[in-house]
Amino acid sequence: MDNLKDYYLGIGIDEKVYDFCATIEKKLKSRFDEIDKVAEQNQIRVIKALQDAKFAEEHLNGTTGYGYNDSGRETIEQVYANLFHTEDALVRQQITCGTHALTIALSGNLRPGDEILSPVGKVYDTLEGVIGVRESKGSLKEFGITYKQVDLLPDGSFDYDNIRKAINKNTRLIEIQRSKGYDVRPTLSVEQIGELIKFCKEIKPDVICMVDNCYGEFVETIEPSFVGADMVVGSLIKNPGGGLAPIGGYICGTKECIENCAYRLSSPGLGKEVGASLGITRNIAQGLFLAPTVTASALKGAIFAANIYEKLGFKTVPNATEDRFDIIQAVEFGKPEFIQAFCEGIQAAAPVDSFVTPIPWDMPGYDSQVIMAAGTFISGASIELSADAPMKEPYAVYFQGGLTYQHAKFGIMMSLQKIVEKGLIVW
């Protein structure tokens, strides 16, 4: 018996579960090598962005109060602009989450009478409230901003004919969501996003193309701003925060777009000049430094899981072999007991709150109960190993993250262990 196996047996994994997972893992070596190559390129890209901005020890100190002349904040924003190849960036802890970052990007750049077009189908759940697709106080709809949507074709490609028809004199902003999020459509590659932006700009050159980049950062070696996006938006408690940023969001884009965002985030006239960093620039910078390898770990975990559960006969999205463009993995179990067991396993493998049992609850904004497993250092951080599932057909669990591959692997082994313990799979 090898020594490593003893460690797993000692922490509650059965020999059969261990052996099954170990056999699967052996076949993933070349896949993992590819991911490491992407991480290596991205690591160099991050270091270069820091060096080109002359990031220095003095920038690790924070400011208080108004935060005037916060050189750390200004420099980290330059780092993000360098990294994303954009004219400017807004990287702030005052941006409370991804939805908030997207809200700032939209409301900062749209005016009454303007129209948003989503050419990739339904927007992320929380954005429906922001835009006013779902009736919501303070939505953009209340400010006279309208919304149109063109769904992807059944094969997942762009419906160019209807996109052309949907673009009109009021279309001011194209919203492109890179990750499928918790939807069934495929995630878009940066290359596909580039083609879509080119098409839209040919029809209307001055339209603003904004990409919701959540869960996509560092999965590839290029970002949507390399292929024409005017604004790229995301959350620091996902990929680019590397697990160390305790809060925050980013918007990278053209000088004009970022200026508009800054006036919305703080106040007209104040813009980027205010916003104390309170000493968290260190976490944002160090998290960014770790983000390429953290994202790689999460991707390896997702591929490991897809291979395990596909081998056991379940539908996985993405499947075991296809290319990845975000860190989310879905497994369709078809039965609620599997979801419960899976989430218990993820929780039991967590570094924080490992002793609690996740139970389904009535989460605001959802039409069914939702179960969540997350034992994270940063509350709600989905770059850390976490899983959630709406308790309804097709009983699919979505999971993501893993600050280290070793942890993601253990969590997935534990999920299978719980499924086996409950007698849901008989070997």
Q: Closest-CB residue for ligand PLP?
A: 98
How far apart are CB 212 and ligand PLP at their closest, in Å? Answer: 5
If one asks whether residue 289 binds ligand PLP (CB under 6 A), the answer comes out as no
DSSP assignment of 382-393 equals: TTSSEEEEESST
H or E element that contains 398: strand 396-400
How far apart are CB 93 and ligand PLP at their closest, in Å? Answer: 14
Distance spanning both ends of the chain, measured CA to CA:
21
DSSP assignment of 325-382 equals: SSS-EEEE-SSHHHHHHHHHHHHHT-SSSTT-----B--TT-SS-EEEEE--SSTT-T
Given 139, 171, 179, 340, the residue binding ligand PLP (CB under 6 A): 179
Given 8, 124, 147, 410, the residue binding ligand PLP (CB under 6 A): 124
How far apart are CB 154 and ligand PLP at their closest, in Å? Answer: 21
Bridge partners of 171, per DSSP, are 115
H or E element that contains 37: helix 29-52
If one asks whether residue 235 binds ligand PLP (CB under 6 A), the answer comes out as yes
Select 177 or 347, whichever has its Cβ closest to ligand PLP. Answer: 177
Nearest to 85 by CA among 194, 202, 207, 174: 194
Reduced to 3 states (helix: H, G, I; strand: E, B; else coil), residue 24 is helix
- Euclidean distance between CA atoms 212 and 295, whole angstroms: 17
Using CA atoms of 340, 297, 47, 287 in order, give the dihedral in degrees to the nearest 10.
30
Binding characters for ligand PLP, 183-212, by CB under 6 A (x = yes)? -----------------------------x
If one asks whether residue 93 binds ligand PLP (CB under 6 A), the answer comes out as no
Select 80 or 124, whichever has its Cβ closest to ligand PLP. Answer: 124
How far apart are CB 328 and ligand PLP at their closest, in Å? Answer: 8
If one asks whether residue 126 binds ligand PLP (CB under 6 A), the answer comes out as yes
- Euclidean distance between CA atoms 284 and 288, whole angstroms: 6
The stretch among 81-89, 92-100, 137-145, 285-293 that binds ligand PLP (CB under 6 A) is 92-100
- Euclidean distance between CA atoms 145 and 92, whole angstroms: 26
Any residues with CB less than 8 A from the CB of 427 and at least 6 apart, and which? 16, 420
Select 212 or 344, whichever has its Cβ closest to ligand PLP. Answer: 212
How far apart are CB 187 and ligand PLP at their closest, in Å? Answer: 9
How far apart are CB 8 and ligand PLP at their closest, in Å? Answer: 32
The total of other beta-carbon atoms located within 10 Å of residue 401's CB is: 30
Two structure tokens written together for 141: 């709809």
User: What is the identity of the amino acid at 399?
Assistant: F
If one asks whether residue 221 binds ligand PLP (CB under 6 A), the answer comes out as no
How far apart are CB 245 and ligand PLP at their closest, in Å? Answer: 12
Given 24, 49, 97, 174, the residue binding ligand PLP (CB under 6 A): 97
If one asks whether residue 214 binds ligand PLP (CB under 6 A), the answer comes out as yes
How far apart are CB 118 and ligand PLP at their closest, in Å? Answer: 12
The stretch among 16-24, 52-60, 93-101, 157-165 that binds ligand PLP (CB under 6 A) is 93-101
Residue ranges that bind ligand PLP, judged by CB under 6 A = 97-99, 124, 126, 177, 179, 181, 212, 214-215, 235
